[in-house]
Amino acid sequence: MMRDEVMLEVESLNVHYGDFQALHNVSLSIKRGSVVSLIGSNGAGKTTLLNAIMGVNKPTSGAISFLGERVDGLPTHKIVAKGLAMSPEGGRVFPKMTVKENLLMGAYLPNARGKKVAAMEKVFSLFPVLKEKSDDESTFLSGGQRQMLAISRALMGAPSLLFCDEISLGLAPVIIKDIYRTIGAISHEGLTIVLVEQDVKRSLKYSDYSYVMLKGKIVLEGKSAELSEDEVRDAYFGTNRYAHY
Amino acid sequence: MEIVQSIVNGIMLGGLYAVIGIGMSIVFGIMGLTNLAHGDLVIVGTFLCMSLAAQFGGNLFLSLGLTAILMVLIGFILQKYLVNKVLDKGTEPALIATFSISICMANLLLLLFGADARSIQTPIASTNIVDTAYFSISAVYFLDFVTALVVIAALHYLLGHTYFGRAIRAASGDAGAAELMGVDTKKTYSYAMCLSMLTAAIAGMLVGMTFVFYPSTGTQYLIIAFAVVVIGGMGSLAGTLVGGVVLGLAQLLGAYFFGVGYQLLCGYLVLLILLTVKPEGLLSTAVRK
Amino acid sequence: MSSGMKASRWGNKHLAQKPGIVCLMAMFLVSLPFWADEYITTIFIQILLYMSLGHMWNLLAGYTGLVSLGQQMFIGLGGYSLAVITEVYHLPMLLGIFTGGLVSVLFAWLISHPIFKMRGVYFTIGTWIAAEALAVFFSNWTFVRSGQGFNITISYGLSTGDIYFVALAAGAGSMALVFLLLRSRIGLALMAMRDNEHAAEAIGIDLYRTKLMCFLLAAFVTGITGGAFYLSIAYIQPFAAFGIDWTVAMVFMVIIGGIGTMEGPVIGAAFYVLMKQYLYAYPGISMILLGTTAIGIILLAPKGIMGMVQERYGLDLVSVRRWSKEG
């Protein structure tokens, strides 16, 4: 396992919604084993980028490659089968299914199905509250628990790259800290993680590398440890140096 | 005590109605599609069963099996070339598209079979399973009810305890999230439609054995299917049985109190009242928006 | 379905602004029975009456967003009103037809409260069931001779020309009514509702009242048209009068002709009547053909024939949009 291997490569991606251009020439690369954060406010294009990578939107031009294979234009379920997983914004847990059934669905893919028992044990050790509530219907969970379920469900598929879309949205700080600690643990085991967040401080703290988006473009990137919070905030809000975007 | 007989018949017929309605419930619950062609598809099944039975010397098992295969095929084609394409366009185009299919099917049957009354001959046609002083249960009605129980139990297992069923439930709960699990939602919808057609085939055979039918009977059964689904609650399996029985009782008790001519009308009135007052269904705990 | 609101590139090319053409058409239609033979006159009767039904179904489904599969209830009520007024009470035919409209409006008003509580597909099937319920009720009602029905003997004394003028009144009247309605405040309300119901409500549009007005108007005109139809058919029986076949005609006409346009029902009616005539010997086939055409239209050209014409040429023969002075 080469530390510097590029898992996901996005090259000059352009995405349009009708006449409106949502992404302008976006390029990024995610290295194996790293934790990358994608920072931006609402409307900056994070969701559009994620949707393009996961096959929900079709890009107008550009390329998306995962482990060397082109994946742009493929339907979502085929992309997921290659090892990409996402905990979507809001969790989107299946409403009329129990926690256990949600997790079982996470292991839907054939290669994950065989390992589902071990995977569930693993997930329960990461988030013990899910084990307690395993027979409860997912709608009875609190916001934080639902987010934990969403992440666990994504993990059940034994992915090689995990996208976490706004996992801290609407949650109490204590819960967020809890979840991020677990994310850290998962990362230490070697899983490549991409955190999509609005929270600048937290994003920089928990990631190795960061991309900042503004108005559909990547305006700033770099090793998280080397980026200053002020510079990131300027890029985020489009102030000072970044006012011309 | 004729009223007891009406009640018994109402319950037994409820089983038949439930089997008719289940197909519609599946398609609605999973794709959000109200298939206005459902009634006519059931009758297509009835005609297929009848013709195949004639070909195979009255062997109903064989004809049911073949009918089921043909119906599943028809469903798959309809899903792939019509329904999937029309689902993205909104609810009104989908309604009108399925309405058009309904008309095409009914007229196709008319063309192929003519307007005469038909029925499916069975050896158990005039026998009674139970014969007491107070009421009797005809073998066919009993078969209708038992089949409903078996079908519902089978579907309950399928949907609750297999990955096939879970995928269907997931796709109906949140299609996008299901895709994220690796589920091919378009294919899953096709499977749901095939499941619906399978139940329609079974319902078709039962209808042919229980009642006289014509190419135009589809409309009647569409309304029955819709009534069952509305009364019991869209997408609820147990609900369809409840819905069927309520409808059956409404019809037969209506006939008992007001006369046979009013049988259908009573069913319609019960349904209209429910549509106004509690369209989510009798069993539903959902709150009206 | 969207109503094809595209700004015209060719400016004000709507027929209503060209009174010359309207006059010519009026003269053509009014004089028809005097120079055309029986057959052609009968065809035009059919086209005019079906067009009237189409306009009303289009008003409901295309402009108000109410997909009704139960308009046949008003056709039946209209037809039976004519039958009862002329056969039982021996009163004039025009009174019978007008009563048909009245009875239809009253019935529509009666069921409006419960039926508007049903939303979306529930409304659609609710209207269908109401029609079926009426069919069963009428077939058991001895006052209207139950399943036997009526022979409408007053028709025997009428010439094709007489019936034609009734049909012309119904057809032209329905078209004029829709035209005027859409240009009125209700028309504006409809367009606002079409784009966004919540927003429309927020600016003070009374959704319920708007929908009710359209529903009642459609009931009235459909009832009168039903009476006119049965004047030409001369025999009424409950299951045919309240049958789904009427709605089949309405749906196919409007979908094929172009939903949400003024010209759509006209084109659709012509298409429908001519196709049925052409395939008269093969009744089942005409329905199958119509059904497949409708499906084809929904999949490939959901705005129908007129919608395609509008998109291609930016043309509006009979516009219902309000043009600004600069046009």
**Interface pTM (ipTM) of the complex?**
0.89
* Cα C302 from chain centroid (whole Å): 20
pLDDT digits (tens, 9 = 90+) for B245-261: 999 999 999 888 888 87
- Cβ atoms A18, A5 nearer than 8 A: no
Which is higher by pLDDT, A243 or A76?
A76
Average pLDDT over residues B210-236: 88
- Cα torsion C244, C246, C247, C252: sign: positive
Q: Kindly list the partner chains of chain C, i.e. chains with 3 or more CB atom pairs below 8 Å.
A: B
- Tell me whether strands A209-214 and A35-39 are parallel, antiparallel or unpaired: parallel
The pLDDT confidence band at residue C317, using thresholds 50, 70 and 90, is low
C289 to chain B: nearest residue by CA?
Answer: B104
Q: How far is A117 from chain B (nearest CA, A)?
A: 15
pLDDT of residue A76: 95
> What is the reported pLDDT for C24?
87
Which residue is associated with the tokens 């196919």?
C252
Q: Name the residue in chain A with its Cα closest to that of B177.
A: A92
Q: What is the mean pLDDT of residues A163-178?
A: 89
Do the Cβ atoms of B100 and C251 come within 8 Å? yes
Asked whether the beta carbons of residue C140 and residue B85 sit closer than 8 angstroms, the reply is no
Judged by CB atoms closer than 8 Å, whether chains meet at B179 and A80 is answered as yes
Q: How far off is chain B from C254, nearest CA to CA, in Å?
A: 11
Q: DSSP 3-state assignment of C257?
A: helix
Distance CA B128, CA C55 (A): 54
Q: Which CATH number is correct for C5-28+43-313, 3.30.70, 1.10.3470, 1.10.10, 3.40.50? A: 1.10.3470
Q: Is A125 on the interface with B (CB under 8 A)?
A: no
Assess B96–A contact: CB distance below 8 Å, yes or no. no
Q: Which tens digits make up the pLDDT trace of C48-63?
A: 999 999 999 999 998 8
Q: Positive or negative CA dihedral for C280, C284, C285, C288?
A: positive
C260 contacts C206 by C-beta, under 8 angstroms: no
Q: Which residues of A touch B163 (CB under 8 A)?
A: 104, 108, 113
pLDDT, position C324: 29
Residue B77 in contact with residue B207, Cβ under 8 Å? no
Regarding predicted confidence, which is higher, C5 or A152?
A152
Q: How far is CA A102 from CA A77, A97, B236, in A?
A: 17, 6, 19
Beta carbons of B181 and A153 less than 8 Å apart: yes
- Gyration radius (Cα) of chain B, Å: 19
Identify any residues that bridge with A163 across adjacent strands, giving them in sequence order.
A86, A194
pLDDT tens column, C208-219: 889 999 999 999
The minimal CB distance from B223 to the residues C120, C129, C298 is found for C129
Domains and CATH numbers, chain B: 2-120+138-277 (1.10.3470)
Residue C236 burial (10 A CB sphere; 0-12, 13-18, 19+): buried
pLDDT at B14: 94
Q: What is the pLDDT of residue B1?
A: 62
Instruction: Give contacts of C110 with chain B, Cβ < 8 Å.
Output: none
Q: What is the pLDDT of residues A82-139, one digit of tens each?
A: 999 999 999 999 998 999 999 999 999 998 999 999 999 999 999 999 999 999 999 9
Q: What is the mean pLDDT of chain B?
A: 88
Residue C215 near residue C201 (C-beta atoms within 8 A): no
Using CA coordinates, name the residue in chain B closest to A95: B173
Indicate contact of C with A: 3+ CB pairs under 8 A.
Answer: no
The mean per-residue pLDDT over the stretch A214-237 comes to: 90
Encode pLDDT of B27-78 as tens digits. 988 888 889 999 999 999 999 999 998 888 878 888 899 999 999 999 999 9
Residues of chain B with C-beta less than 8 angstroms from the C-beta of A104: 163, 166
Cα separation, B272 vs C266, in Å, equals: 34
SS3 assignment, position A28: strand
Q: Average pLDDT of B6-11?
A: 91
pLDDT score for B284: 63
The reported pLDDT for the residue numbered B285 is 55
Q: Kindly tell me if the per-residue pLDDT of B79 is higher than 50.
A: yes
**Higher-scoring residue by pLDDT: C307, A149:** A149
Window from A35-39, A121-125, C200-204 with minimum mean pLDDT: C200-204
The pLDDT of residue C12 is 42
The pLDDT of residue C286 is above 90: no
CB contact under 8 A, B174 and A109: no
| Cα of A187 to nearest chain B Cα, Å | 21
pLDDT for res C315: 61
Tokens of C136: 């069963």
How many interchain CB pairs under 8 A, B with C? 109
Cβ of C129 within 8 Å of Cβ of B104? The answer is no
Residue C7: pLDDT band (50, 70, 90) is: very low
State pLDDT tens for residues C66-94: 999 999 999 999 999 999 999 889 999 89
- Best of A108, A156, A163 to substitute, by most chain B Cβ atoms within 10 angstroms, is A108
Report the pLDDT value the prediction gives residue A84, as an integer from 0 to 100.
95
C3 pLDDT more than 70:
no
Instruction: Answer yes or no: is pLDDT of B2 > 60.
Output: yes
pLDDT at position A64 is 95
What is the domain partition of chain C in residue ranges? 5-28+43-313
Segment A46-87, tens digit of pLDDT: 989 999 999 998 999 999 999 989 998 899 999 999 999 999
Q: Is pLDDT of C164 > 50?
A: yes
B167 touches chain A (CB under 8 A): yes
Cβ neighbors of C233 (< 8 A, separation 6 or more) are C79, C152
CB distance B166–A75 less than 8 Å? no
Please give the residue of chain B at the shortest CA–CA distance from C115. Answer: B276
Alpha carbons B206 and C1: distance in angstroms, whole number: 39
Q: What does the pLDDT read at residue C13?
A: 47
Q: B131-140, B179-188, C275-284: which has the highest mean pLDDT?
A: B179-188
- The percent of residues above 90 in pLDDT, for chain C, comes to 47
Rounded to the nearest 10 degrees, the angle between the axes of helix C160-183 and helix C207-233 is 170
Look at C295 and B91 and tell me if their CB atoms are within 8 Å. Answer: no
Predicted confidence at residue C316, as pLDDT, reads: 56
If contacts are CB pairs under 8 Å, which of residues 68-107 in chain B contact chain C? 82, 85-86, 89-93, 95-97, 99-101, 103-104, 107
Helix (H) or strand (E) holding C30: helix C19-35
Disruptive mutation site among C121, C239, C279 for chain B (greatest number of B CBs within 10 Å): C121
Average pLDDT of the residues of chain C: 85
Q: Give the SS3 label for residue A9.
A: strand
| Residue A36 confidence (pLDDT) | 95
Q: What is the pLDDT of residue C185?
A: 87
Is the confidence at residue C327, as pLDDT, over 60? Answer: no
Pick A233 or C195 by higher pLDDT: A233
pLDDT bin (cut points 50, 70, 90) of residue B283 is: low
Cα pseudo-dihedral B174, B175, B177, B180, rounded to 10? 160
